[in-house]
Amino acid sequence: MTRLATALDDAEAFVRRYVVITDDQAAAVALWILHTYTLDAADITPYLSISSAEKQSGKTVLLDVLEKLAHKPWRAVTPSAAVTFRTIEKECPSLLLDEVDTIWGPKARDEDEGLRALLNAGFRRHGSTVPRCDGPKMRVRNFRTFCPKALAGIGELPDTVADRSIPIRMERKRRDDRVERWRERAVRVVADQVAESIRETGVALVADLEGYEPELPDELSDRAQDAWEPLLAIADHARGDWPARARAAAVALMASRDDLIPLGSRLLSDIRDIFTTHPTVKMGTVELLELLYQIEEAGWSDWYGKPLTARKLAALLKPYAIEPHKERDWRGYFLGDFLDAFSRYLPEPATSATPATEVDE
C-alpha cells in the first residue's frame, strides 16, 4: 500500500468515525481533503457541497472534521464579501462556509452579491479574479478567488455553483446508525496525527501531480469531469483500489446533479404504486417498464421522444442505491431494495407496499 493510500484511508476512517456518510461520499471527502494540500498542482478546485433537507443532519460535524484535517481551514458563517476577498487573497485558505442557503435565499443581503460573485468565479485558477474598488482612493483591484471551498447549507445550491460542486447530501441518522460523539478535547490528538500525515503526503505529491491528466469517466458531463479531474489524479497516484473507487464515486454522486432529483422522486412514487397494485417481492425490468408506460400522466412512455429504457431506468434509480439484479436469464428489481428510498423520499410510509407471500417469476 502506498503512503498516499494510507493517508486517504486514514482520512476516510476519521470522517466515518464521526459522520454518517456513504462509501462514495466518504471517498470524495477524503480525496477533497488531500486536494486542499495539493492545490498548487491543480487548475480547477471542486467545491464540496454539503447539503441536507433539514437541520441536524450532520453538516456541522462534517465541517468540524474538515476544520481539523483540511489545509489552512478558515471556517465562517456568512462573512462579509470584503473580509472573504481579503482572506483568500492573503491566505488562500480552505474556505469552510456555513449556512450558504442564506446567501441566495429570501434572507439574502445586498452585500452577499460579492460572495455570490466569488463563488461563481473561484472554480478555476486562471480567470478567477473579481474586480472590486479598494482602499481610501477606491481604486479597482482584481481579487483572487481561487481556493478550496466547502459549502454547507439547507437545500440545493444555484445551478451556477452546483455545477462546480461535488454533492455530499447528508441525511439525519437513524437510531441504529453508530458514530462517535464529537468531543473537541478527545478528538484533538488523533486529528492532529491524521492531519500531519495528510500534510506530509500532500506536500510531497504536488510535483507528481503537475501535468498529470487522469482518465475521466465518459458518464460525466464536461463540467463534472473538470470538477473531478484533480481528485481522480490523486486517486491514481494512491493506486490500490482508490482509482476504481474514485471513479465509481464520481459517477454515482454526480448523477444527482443531472436534474434527476425531482424525476427520481416521481419515479419512486410510481414504482411504489406499481408494487402496491401488483404485490410481489420482485419484478422483472421489462414488466416494470411496461407498467410505468401505462401511467399516462407520468410520460414514461414518451421519454424525450421514446419510451424510458432499462438503462435510463437504472440511471434514475442509482442515486438512491437501487440497482437491478441478475438471476440466470432474469433481470429486475427487488421490492426490498426500494423500501429505504420510499421511507426517505416519499411523503407516505412504504408499508402499503408489502412483499407478497408468493414470488412472481
Closest by CA position to 332, among listed 253, 278, 257: 278
Chain mean position to CA 335: 26
Residues in contact with 204: Cβ distance below 8 Å, sequence separation at least 6, in sequence order? none
- Is pLDDT larger for residue 164 or for residue 36? 36
C-alpha cell at 58: 450532520
Are 25 and 91 within one domain? Answer: yes
163 CB contacts (<8 Å, ≥6 apart)?
A: 223, 257
Q: State the pLDDT at residue 159.
A: 72
Is the residue at 28 inside a domain? yes
Per-residue pLDDT, 297? 77
Indicate if 204 and 314 belong to the same structural domain: no
Summarize pLDDT for 127-183 with one digit per residue, the tens.
777 777 776 767 787 888 899 999 998 877 777 788 779 999 988 888 888 889 888
What's the pLDDT at 361?
38
Output the pLDDT for position 351: 45
43/55 Cα distance (integer angstroms) = 34
> Is residue 361 in some structural domain?
no
Same domain, residue pair 91 and 221: yes
Question: What span, in angstroms and rounded, lies between the C-alpha atoms of 291 and 145?
Answer: 51
Domain end call among 220, 240, 257: 257
Going by their DSSP bridges, the two strands 165-170 and 282-284 should be labelled as unpaired
* pLDDT score recorded for residue 122: 87
Whether 301 and 326 share a structural domain: yes
Task: State the residue range of the domain holding 286.
Answer: 263-352
Same-domain pairing of 173 and 198: yes
Q: Classify residue 241: in a domain, yes or no.
A: yes
**Residue at 189 is within a domain:** yes
Range of lowest pLDDT (64-73, 92-101, 105-114, 223-232): 105-114
What is the domain-level CATH number for residue 303? 1.10.10
> What is the H or E stretch that residue 169 is in?
strand 165-170
What's the number of domains the chain is made of?
Answer: 2
Kindly state whether residues 222 and 277 are assigned to the same domain: no
pLDDT-based confidence at residue 193 (cuts at 50, 70, 90): very high
Summarised one tens digit per residue, pLDDT across range 244-289 is 999 999 999 987 554 444 578 889 999 999 999 999 999 999 999 9
Report the amino acid identity of residue 26. A
Distance, CA of 122 to CA of 150 (rounded, Å): 12
Question: Vertex 126, ends 121 and 131: CA angle to 5°?
Answer: 50
Instruction: Indicate whether 25 pLDDT > 80.
Output: yes
Work out the mean pLDDT of the chain and round it to a whole number. Answer: 87
pLDDT at residue number 298 = 78
* pLDDT of 353: 45
Domain boundary among 257, 274, 295: 257
Q: What is the DSSP string of 193-221?
A: HHHHHHHHHHHHHHHHHTT------TTS-
Asked, for residue 166, whether it belongs to a domain, the answer is yes
Q: Are 124 and 115 in contact (CB under 8 A)?
A: no
Question: Within this chain, do residues 172 and 280 fall inside the same structural domain, yes or no?
Answer: no
My answer on whether 181 and 296 are in the same domain is no
pTM: 0.70
Cell of 200: 506530509
Domain identity same for 311 and 332: yes
| Same domain assignment for residues 138 and 282 | no
Q: Count the neighbouring beta carbons within 10 Å of the beta carbon of residue 6.
A: 15
User: In the predicted model, what is the mean pLDDT of residues 18-35?
Assistant: 96
Mark whether 221 and 126 lie in a shared domain.
yes
Task: State the pLDDT at residue 54.
Answer: 77
253 with 304, same domain: the answer is no
Strand-pair category, 325-327 with 165-170: unpaired
